[in-house]
Amino acid sequence: MSMTDQDWQEEQTRVKEVTQLIEGRIRKLEQEVGSVRGDVVEMRKDFWDEVTMNFSESDDVGETSTSMRQQSEILSDRERSHLHAYAELSKMKRLHQSPYFGRIDFTEKGEPGEAVYLGIASLLDKKDEHFLVYDWRAPISNLYYDSTPGPASYHTPSGQISGTIELKRQYVIRDGHIKFMFDTGVTIGDELLQQVLSRTSDAQMKSIVATIQQEQNRIIRNDRSRILIVQGAAGSGKTSAALQRVAYLLYRYREQLTADQVILFSPNPMFNSYVSTVLPELGEENMRQTTFQEYLEHRIGREYQLEDPFIQMEYVLSSYEKKGYTARIAGIQYKSSQQFYHVLNRYKELLEHTGMQFRPLRFQGQEIVSAADIEAKFYAFDPSVRLSNRCELLKDWLLKALSEFARKELKKPWVEEQLQLLDKEEYQRAYRRMRRKKRGKGDTFSDFEDEHIILAKMLVSSRLKPLRKWVKGIRFVDTKKMYATLFDSSEHIAKLSDRPLPEEWADICSFTLDHLRQGNLAYEDATPMLYLKEMILGFRSNTNIRHVFIDEVQDYSPFQLYFLKHLFPRARMTALGDLNQAIYVHASVLQQSSVLQDLYGPEESEEITLTRSYRSTQEIVNFTKAMISGGEHIIPFNRRGELPVVEIVGNKEQLQAQIINEIQRLKREDYETIAVICKTAAEAEEAYTALHEQVPVKLIKKTTMSFEQGIHIIPAYLAKGVEFDAVLIYNGSEEIYARETERKLFYTACTRAMHWLHIYSLGQPSPFILSARNQDYVRIDEM
């Protein structure tokens, strides 16, 4: 079917009409809204802070939803209707920029045909009768993404509807004018995708609704499985699909689901800023965003000096020579495994009968209740009572013991001494406070004696207050010691294991115990330690969250995934990752696909693989896919560019001078985002020092919160998930990238490039580069 001039004219006329209608609505809404502009403030805070209430006590969940309800009740009806008008206005403004991007003509059996136009929101005609534009998430819109012209059908809540697609058309509309228009046979024509992908990169991710591919659509609209596992090549649109999926779910389940009930775990804080505009662009509120580390900090950051994953990463990448390196690596792998998770589960069962460790209750050097007595009391409770409930019972028992102790303490000389020390004013104040307290209780005290005793009581009680708090916080349970016990010798843990321990066990033990003794918690110990704590004291789960998205899931260990499952018991999970980008040395959940399948069982799991890569040019994909196993399955999208360049230099001065030249050239050629990617933070620092006086570069650190256009110097592990027009690899030599563990880091770094990839190498280049065919890159030898 070919497009005629008449088609163009008709379509342009329609665009004009729709645009005028939108403009009319905008004028009306602006009047409605104008008077209270700025009145309604957004009430969102950092996720974990806000949810502190949610986590602080296990039975607080009800309270949290009450407090949320209260929040929304604060908004008066008037404000609510204004909010609605605001939302409507911003939707109209978005539609005004580009009212729709696609059309299908669909004839349902026995009905007249209908032209269905798709946009980012729905739009009704003047009489509110017909859809001028359908929301891209509406049931009928699925035809556009999933079917080709010919017989087709789609699901609606009331059943399946069959018919024929007569036409499928795509548009690019800007400011009321059609810029491009294509009729397509295949799913979504390559023409529009070509248009979209040839743009330069942005500081922020864009929505892809106009060009969602069929396989991506299956991810976005999946609503059957408990866990959806997405494995996809670098640049295949995993993150994009995840975000459009959030928008889809918020639309599809708008009666039940709010953005607050969806959480995205991302690789680092900067990534949060990178993706934060996609949902607002689609007219939805952002989901909650966090990192796993942020959660750990929230839960155990006060008790320990917590190592973050990037410090661990720096150690792994640059301490090969150090003593204890192999043992630490073996320890990281062991502690992140499913095996260790099972060990902890068995440990918990053991603790139900024996082995709980307690801190004694002490006051001013004297022991009120000894650890042994606490333990005896604990195991005297009925063994069928849960550990956490027994801890609660212990708490009550200890609080009673504390009151008893306080009574006896009243007569002790220190109390008298301290009372004597109160000066007159303090005494008066205490006396008045006491009177106030006593008033209304019918208690009167006439003589000095009474008064004195009451003051003594107050004194003792105030001295014991911290201890009471300590007991209430169940701090008498010594989780740290119980965790450490596992590393005391091999005997104890061997009884809990069904597999042999790592060879380096003795060294793993001494590393762990040393760290704990100093109050440090290595990254690999944080999750198991917290898990043990939760098993003993009761899991503080979050039942409000209904959808958990885990991006870069290959960087999570099996242990962490099991943990997240416990943490969000009522949620469905969408896990997206690429094993070839697994940059941590700990076991990756994607190493064996069974790990994720086992999480909820195969029946509850669904897996989708994405093999087309959209980020990089065909040349870059052909070059990078040679670095990894299974790379032959990656299909580049047909977009041409220049061959990657590998430039070998003889010394550092030359290296830095060449990079400066190259950055200047790229800037002249209007590349908007350029990254110099380094291996470690130390290397990035070095590059920054050498370059920043010649070219305007920004150094990205793990604390960097937002991402801007420009020239960045960035360690590879922080470049996760983001992309740049041009990537320069600071030093891709054999010396820097040769070990197996560095292969994936190098691959991740190179696959950040959209249009231009230039690798510098100080001396012999990395073997990963040399695995590419000679014709797939240009080699320049300056040596």
Q: Is 574 within any annotated ligand binding site?
A: no
Give me 178's structure tokens: 């059609």
Least distance from C-beta 205 to ligand ATP, angstroms?
6
Cβ–Cβ < 8 Å for 511, 331: yes
Q: Report d(CA 460, CA 403) in Å as an integer.
A: 10
Q: Is 401 within any annotated ligand binding site?
A: no
The H-or-E segment that residue 177 falls in is strand 177-183
Q: Is 682 within any annotated ligand binding site?
A: no
Judged by CB under 6 A, which stretch of 75-83, 96-104, 237-245, 770-778 contacts ligand ATP?
A: 237-245
**In this chain, which of 102, 119, 163, 232 binds ligand ATP, going by CB under 6 A?**
232
Q: Is 756 in the site for ligand ATP (CB under 6 A)?
A: no
Q: Is 717 in the site for ligand ATP (CB under 6 A)?
A: no
Q: Is 490 within any annotated ligand binding site?
A: no
DSSP 440-457: TTT----SHHHHHHHHHH
Name which of 672, 677, 667, 650 is nearest 759 in CA terms. 677
Least distance from C-beta 688 to ligand ATP, angstroms?
24
Nearer to ligand ATP, 241 or 545 (CB): 241
**In this chain, which of 94, 335, 615, 743 binds ligand ATP, going by CB under 6 A?**
615
Q: Report d(CA 91, CA 305) in Å as an integer.
A: 47
Q: Is 119 within any annotated ligand binding site?
A: no
DSSP 482-512: HHHHTTT-HHHHHHH-SSPPPTTHHHHHHHH
Q: DSSP letter at 209?
A: G
Nearer to ligand ATP, 163 or 237 (CB): 237
Cβ–Cβ < 8 Å for 766, 738: yes
Q: Is 575 within any annotated ligand binding site?
A: no
Residue nearest to ligand ATP (CB): 237
Contact string 542-581 vs ligand ATP (x = CB under 6 A): ------------------------------------x--x
Nearer to ligand ATP, 248 or 341 (CB): 248
Judged by CB under 6 A, which stretch of 46-54, 127-135, 229-237, 683-691 contacts ligand ATP?
A: 229-237
Judged by CB under 6 A, which stretch of 159-167, 234-242, 506-514, 694-702 contacts ligand ATP?
A: 234-242
Q: Is 238 within any annotated ligand binding site?
A: yes
Contact string 174-213 vs ligand ATP (x = CB under 6 A): -------------------x--xx--------x-x--xxx
Q: What sections of 608-721 are H helices per DSSP? A: 618-624, 652-668, 681-691
Q: Is 232 within any annotated ligand binding site?
A: yes
Count CB atoms within 10 A of the CB of residue 352.
15
What separation, in Å, do the N-terminal and C-terminal C-alpha atoms of the chain show?
58
Q: What is the 3-state secondary structure (H, E, C) of 269-323?
A: HHHHHHHCCHHHHCCCCCCEEECHHHHHHHHHCCCCEECCHHHHHHHHHHCCCCC
Which residues are paired to 576 by β-bridges? 230
Nearer to ligand ATP, 493 or 610 (CB): 610
**In this chain, which of 122, 170, 187, 240 binds ligand ATP, going by CB under 6 A?**
240
Return the residues of window 402-441 that contact ligand ATP according to CB under 6 A.
none
Least distance from C-beta 156 to ligand ATP, angstroms?
25
Q: What sections of 615-673 are H helices per DSSP? A: 618-624, 652-668
Q: Is 723 in the site for ligand ATP (CB under 6 A)?
A: yes
Q: Is 267 in the site for ligand ATP (CB under 6 A)?
A: no
| Residues 6 or more apart whose Cβ sits within 8 Å of residue 608 | 215, 218, 219, 222, 228, 229, 230, 231
Residue 53, SS3 per DSSP:
helix
Return the residues of window 576-605 that contact ligand ATP according to CB under 6 A.
578, 581
Least distance from C-beta 382 to ligand ATP, angstroms?
51
Residues that bind ligand ATP (CB under 6 A): 193, 196-197, 206, 208, 211-213, 216, 232, 234-240, 578, 581, 614-615, 721, 723, 751
Please give the annotated binding residues, written as ranges: 232-239
Residue list, annotated binding site for ATP: 232-239
